[in-house]
Chains A and B, each alone.
Chain A
């Protein structure tokens, strides 16, 4: 009976370990969130003057008074830059103003950035195809407003379903979970908000920017008591919890390297390659994750990985259920809302 062999293949060449981020500085912020925080208006951390990271637009103080007429003129100029045939851009303009102004209807309006900055942000979006989410510094994902910036993947709507799958696992609330390659921390925060007293989430990422952004999101939602952010590559920082995890969640980079040049500019030009490039066939990280699973999961533990779609999911289901049949059961591909086999899930025996 073949047992799952752990890969000794070093992956450091793919995801080089950089020096540790100054975590003490990030963690020094006061815990600001309370459990009563509403989903859409989470408490905003006070600006820390020593924090070198750029504060997302929507969290900056509304300290720039602009006459209503000037704001209206900006709105007209901005709308004129995009054709009526692009309704999503008009939607983005409404959202930009909603995020940039404390009260867009007051006169003067109080903006979170000078008007010429807004102007530059808007042209950056429509001309340079900078993702709207990086412009305003957030993405609305499930019932969260997740802070994002360049250097972390913008969480995708497909991934929202992962939280529902995890929640259905028996004993979910009091288990220990890991989100590998947490990025903005969206999954980790959404899952942590539903964990019980014993539940815990280890959010791992090799990117320093991701560690910073995830830390911010964890604080904004007040789940720092449940989420432990660890800097490192995949399973590396989890050696002390081997065999203890109820579940492993990951949305790893899965786009085949050859497909990167053809990506939508918002994605290909602006989002981090580190979070997108899955190597040859897009499977490099997914395979590494599959190989490490059985040593971190406790018996009966659950895993869910997001994949590139039908081909990758079918391949992985087939691989796990033949090569590692003795280690896993109930391995299956799960469809997303567009009926694409987007996820692979299963349980450790």
Chain B
């Protein structure tokens, strides 16, 4: 028998599912309600980042929203999403008006610019001089990895210090001498590893929760203040984000 066909226009990447839409309430930039996500506004050096001030209109709260990672308090874990899931929440605005496309056209777009709808974060090439890949696919991949870094730097998730245990992605970026870092965590992950971003995000969440105090955060992470400072200073964007955060609390920058 003929059954009704599922006829709909899909999007590549697909639009968020209705269940994801219902989570928009959890998203940042709703200042009138307590939000589990907060932006700490700061400027990045030499960045091409901007944060749109409009509230998210088209949702995309993320399918993993309810899962909650360790220490994330059950809010949206964007960095825990796969590239595909994250891409589903993004717009590639640059390409809107490019004509009929497909077989009609022989021209590569020069840069891929991604706008992450739920947070309004925009990721594009660092500078016009930055090396551009010849494949659009690869340009998209580097924009996506840039987006992950920006999410780590800008999206703050609340922490309940009472019963806080550092999540594994944070433990992974700590030096081996940390006393809270178990043996099973493996080698220390550095800033060039793609897994550094989730750890950096968790570290900034913690630093935000302790009002920017490196010594308080260091105690919780089983490190000396000096050791944690060195970790923060080891990556330029992490250092800048930490110092912006400290400045907002009236603290001196780390050097």
Contact = CB atoms under 8 A, between A and B. Distances in A.
A317 B9 CA distance: 10
A164 B84 contact: yes
Nearest to A160: B137
Contacts of A80: none
Interface in A239-272: 251, 253-255, 259, 263-264, 266-267, 271
The CB with the most chain A CB atoms within 10 A, among B11, B135, B138, is that of: B135
B107 to A, nearest CB: 7
A333 B10 contact: yes
Contacts, number: 128
The CB with the most chain B CB atoms within 10 A, among A253, A309, A338, is that of: A338
Given A161-B12, A321-B7, A328-B5, A337 B102 contact: no
B102 A140 contact: no
Given A164-B84, A341-B9, A156 B137 contact: no
Given A153-B103, A309-B102, A337 B92 contact: yes
Contacts of A342: 12, 101-102
Interface in B110-158: 110, 132-138
Given A153-B103, A338-B95, A330 B5 contact: yes
B7 A331 contact: yes
A160 B96 CA distance: 17
B100 A336 contact: no
Contact of B137 (A143, A334, A335, A343): A143
Contacts of B32: none
A310 to B, nearest CB: 9
B96 to A, nearest CB: 6
B11 A334 contact: yes
B106 A266 contact: yes
A95 B110 CA distance: 13
Contact of A336 (B3, B12, B107, B134): B12
Interface of B: 1-3, 5-12, 84, 92, 95-96, 98, 100-110, 132-138
Given A131-B106, A160-B135, A340-B101, 20 more contacts: A141-B135, A142-B137, A143-B138, A157-B137, A158-B102, A160-B136, A251-B103, A254-B102, A263-B104, A267-B106, A276-B103, A321-B5, A321-B7, A329-B3, A330-B6, A332-B8, A333-B10, A334-B11, A336-B102, A339-B96
